Chains A and B, each alone.
Chain A
Amino acid sequence: MRFPSLLVAIALSVAVVGPAEAAPSAGHGTHAKGKPKAAPPKAPTSPKKPGKKKHAHAQAPKVTAPAEDPPLVRPLVAIPEPVRIADHAPDALTLVAADRPDATDVTLVLRVPSGAGDDPADQAGAALVTARAVEHALTGEIRGLREVGGDVAFEVDADASVVRVRVPRGSIDAALEVLSAAFSVEIAPADVDAAHASIGAVSTEEAASDRLFALAYQGWFPYEHPTEGDARSRGALDDKAVNALHRQRWAAEHATLAVVGSDAHALVDAIKARFDGSPSAGKLAPRAGTLQEQTNQRTEDVERAGAHASIRYAWALPTATPAEMNALDVAARLVAEDVEAAVGKLSMAAIVRARVERRVGPSVFVIEVDLPDDAPMKKARHAVEDAFVALSTKAATGIELAHAKEASFLDVAAMADDPSALAAWLAAGGARFEDVRVALDAVTSENVRAAAAKLLGPLTRSVVVVRDPARAPKEKAS
């Protein structure tokens, strides 16, 4: 299962090398206030009370540090906190807005509790088919939105379906037309056919990720399957089934609409006038499934002609506390560099991505290591796993920790400047940035070491090794 959405993955991943632009989206924050359905970005647990803002501008010593000077470490810098407005539309749609006086247009993010984790047990892929059918059913409205200069994207991840819209301020009606119709539209058979047709083949890399998460979440159905499900599980999804799922899940009373723009109060009023009432969809059924305790490392090989070599690790984190999750965010930054260095000692280049993926259910810690196609995989694996051990046995230095925390917080802070990311953060119930900052700043080397020792052990990890057997060198069994 690709979760969270790739955007989230990009936001949280630590690309040690490469030109990727981090697209900030999620990763840190507290749970949604009063709405347990929302994805829980980070739950900061701060030993300090928020409000004691540390203005690093003023605090940072004026130092021009030559290499021989002691490392310069300073607290994370506080960032401007957007003013938030919470409200409800007459049809019970939850509204959250952030005022951004210099916004050039209006950004809206609708979050509907219809993720792959909500798929009926025998209909994996249902949330995705439904979202795409909705999108297809709104072809005319979407074209209308684009013709006034707007743009829209539909996404589905493990926990939600999300519709992102940006529109010039004077054309907000076109955006609200799309978003309100997303609830009320009747999905035709042609829309469902188009949705099925839009779901294509799975690449080797995606198949490897799917296997990794299936291993990590073994025993807990909602997160085991890929967002797309498979052809068989989607086979039963006709227009009747899709409309039923749409009526149940795509209901205003279960959804959250976040809006970011200038004069947010006026925007909220405009939205309330549009979402003025709809029939109740009833309560949402709770998810089934329980994550079984993992006591043995699970490993699978994905061997395909043309596959690029990689090793992927995942740990499900059912027992992680919010404070430990913060520590693992920092750990992800640290371990990526350690793994790269460890593989480098074998005279190989590795591209390493490490991240915490937060879910409504148990989150997961992921490390992906891309290797040369002719890499000796066993040797590489030993090197990588030695780096994991170091994470739980060796304390990071002060400057290493500072850089890891800075990198982690910059991704979150960037959301304050990005209306699309900010709206997605708000819709998911993201925490105040100051709370995130304080919580991250409080992470110590010992926190990281302890969290890694507790949660990233060898017995609880799942491993998927990807390679092209024709290109991989023969290695002796260890």
Chain B
Amino acid sequence: MRRALTFALATIALGAMACGPEHGTGTRTPVGSPSASASADAVLPIDTVKPVDPAVVPTVSGEDLKNGVRLVSVARAGAALAEIRVVVRVGSADDGDHAGTARVVARAMQAAYGARAANDGRAAPQIDAIVRPNATTFSFRSAPDGVGPTLKAIAAAFGKTSLDAAETKAAATRLTEDLKAERANAAEIGPRLVQRDLFIAPIGRHPYSVLLLSGEDVAGVDAKSASAFLSSFYVASNVSVVAVSPLASDALRATAEEALSSLRTGDARAADVDAPEGRPRPMKVMLIDAPAQDPVEVTWGKFGPTAAQATDTKTRLFGATVVDRLARAGVPNVRFEVSPFRGAPLIALVRAELPQASAADAIAKLHGLLTTFDTPNASELVAARNIVTGEIQRAIDPPRALADTLALDVAVDAPENALERRTIELPATEAVDVGLTGNAIVGHDGILVVVGDAKVLAPALTKFGEVDVLDPATLTRVRSVGP
């Protein structure tokens, strides 16, 4: 796992900053000791903003197909392949009484796709699926002539009227293996716990908090509930297709129109989640006791401002400022992400990967920067704008990243021109805006999750408050350590 974090993620971050559930700031590079070297002060003079070149911001087209499917597309004439995302705007928040239903159905759809694509050599050999709270996104890449056959096979899979017991069990069994890997992934457990514990409903569990499924959960999903989910939600009006491809818009529309004509019709799923207030929560510190974990994984999460879309750029500039300040303080392996949700505030995440030997010192620095936030000075603002500019450019290119960015926007009902809006807002956002936003986010509250050696780290973490030490296998509290 450690090597996966230090190498693969760093690389993937370069290639696809926006392919995950969040958009990020910063990177995960291997070296990360707070002890800065002699050349650390040899910083290039930063006196100019390098704005995103408007010429490279893609024109995003949106149109409705006859059966209600929304087609969101970007034409890339020189691209070799088509990157397609089929977004079904239902996800884990729609599980209802059976946690895991959305994921079991997505698994079953992958299997059904394979059976239906098996006879056409043009169709993508497989489709991937990611289930988030607001959407289930099926993705594939294909040669241009494979778009139609692949969409057709997906539509045929979605068109199943029910799932039988064997299909449901097979999907649940495979999913169990995924869940095992998810729980074992130290890099991913932090964001999941943050999301779980920020979305606390006034009574019971909030739909967005259902993230840490167990094998028992998915084993409880029966064919009846899976079939009901499929037939109710996998309908044309819930489907958007995001395409970044060399196909001309007319050809793409005709292809999608024909391939998806067999989709069921039905009512669109309303965004009816019980949105919690973006109210501050008392700081909760969780330390998952994993003595061998190196580097130490740190995740700090807070709700962003309530009007998520309006303040998205300000939040990103806040995050870029934090990342830059930490780098200047000798903690370079930090990145900032936002997790947007439909009908609820986004979550702002600061994630750090710290060498075990220096983690305690770095955590002390994190505490200083995450409990107070000073309005950025002119130089910091320029750097933050540049950092976010770089992120936007990496979200535009390669096509895979652009397709993921657009699919994420679709999932949370963000405007289809959100990318363009961000590029316009960026140079217009002033330091005072960033300062106000940052001050609304930081403070002595939120969720902090650390995976590492409790003996070494617990004392450092008490700066943030009482520390709950969790068992790494069960994630249950084994003891508390007071300040």
Contacting A5 at CB < 8 Å: which of B7, B50, B130, B383?
B7
Q: Chain B nearest CB: distance from A242 CB in Å?
A: 13
Verify if B394 is at the interface (C-beta below 8 Å from A). yes
Q: Chain B nearest CB: distance from A268 CB in Å?
A: 20
Which of these binds chain A: B86-94, B142-150, B190-198, B341-349? B142-150
Residues A142 and B128 in contact in the complex (CB < 8 Å), given A135-B31, A170-B50, A198-B30: no
Contacting A141 at CB < 8 Å: which of B6, B39, B388, B397?
B39
Chain B contacts for A403, CB-based, 8 A: 118, 121, 125
Chain A contacts for B107, CB-based, 8 A: 17
In the bound assembly, the distance between CA atoms of A80 and B43 in angstroms comes to 40
Verify if B46 is at the interface (C-beta below 8 Å from A). yes
In the bound assembly, the distance between CA atoms of A23 and B3 in angstroms comes to 16
Q: Chain A nearest CB: distance from B54 CB in Å?
A: 11
Q: Chain B nearest CB: distance from A20 CB in Å?
A: 7
In the bound assembly, the distance between CA atoms of A146 and B24 in angstroms comes to 13
- Residues of chain B in range 1-43 having any CB-CB distance to chain A below 8 Å: 1-4, 6-8, 10-16, 19, 26-33, 35-43
Verify if A57 is at the interface (C-beta below 8 Å from B). yes
Verify if A266 is at the interface (C-beta below 8 Å from B). no
Verify if A372 is at the interface (C-beta below 8 Å from B). yes
- Residues of chain A in range 132-182 having any CB-CB distance to chain B below 8 Å: 132-133, 135-156, 164, 166-171, 173-174, 177
Label chain A's interface by main secondary structure: mixed
- Residues of chain B in range 98-154 having any CB-CB distance to chain A below 8 Å: 107, 110, 116, 118-122, 124-126, 128-130, 139, 141-146, 149, 152
Q: Chain A nearest CB: distance from B34 CB in Å?
A: 9
A56 touches B37 (CB 8 A): no
Q: Chain A nearest CB: distance from B316 CB in Å?
A: 13
Closest A residue to B19 by beta carbon equals A21
B33 touches A370 (CB 8 A): no
A1-38 vs B: 1/0 string, CB under 8 Å?
A: 01001110110000011111101010000000000000
A151 touches B173 (CB 8 A): no
Chain A contacts for B122, CB-based, 8 A: 56, 60, 72, 74, 406
Residues A137 and B128 in contact in the complex (CB < 8 Å), given A149-B386, A200-B2: no
Verify if B398 is at the interface (C-beta below 8 Å from A). yes
A402 touches B386 (CB 8 A): no
Which of these binds chain B: A84-92, A202-210, A378-386? A202-210
Verify if B180 is at the interface (C-beta below 8 Å from A). yes
Verify if B292 is at the interface (C-beta below 8 Å from A). yes
Verify if B178 is at the interface (C-beta below 8 Å from A). yes
A147 touches B42 (CB 8 A): no
Residues A168 and B389 in contact in the complex (CB < 8 Å), given A71-B120, A153-B14, A414-B81: yes
- Residues of chain A in range 349-394 having any CB-CB distance to chain B below 8 Å: 349-351, 370, 372-373
A105 touches B129 (CB 8 A): no
Verify if B184 is at the interface (C-beta below 8 Å from A). yes
Residues A69 and B119 in contact in the complex (CB < 8 Å), given A5-B7, A153-B29, A414-B80: yes
Size of the chain B interface, CB-CB below 8 angstroms? 106
In the bound assembly, the distance between CA atoms of A66 and B16 in angstroms comes to 36
Chain A contacts for B386, CB-based, 8 A: 147-149, 168, 171
Residues A188 and B120 in contact in the complex (CB < 8 Å), given A202-B2, A333-B125: no
A166 touches B14 (CB 8 A): yes
Residues A406 and B125 in contact in the complex (CB < 8 Å), given A7-B11, A7-B12, A153-B29: yes
Binding site for B on A (CB under 8 A): 2, 5-7, 9-10, 16-21, 23, 25, 56-57, 60, 64-65, 67, 69-74, 76-77, 79-80, 100-105, 131-133, 135-156, 164, 166-171, 173-174, 177, 185, 188, 190-191, 193-195, 197-198, 200-203, 205-206, 227-228, 306, 308, 333, 344, 347-351, 370, 372-373, 399, 402-404, 406-407, 410, 413-414, 416-421, 433
8 further interface pairs, Cβ-Cβ under 8 Å (given A198-B33, A350-B177, A410-B81): A6-B8, A72-B119, A77-B144, A105-B393, A195-B31, A201-B292, A333-B125, A417-B81
Give the 7 A-B CB pairs with smallest separation, nearest first: A200-B294, A149-B390, A194-B33, A144-B44, A6-B8, A402-B121, A79-B80
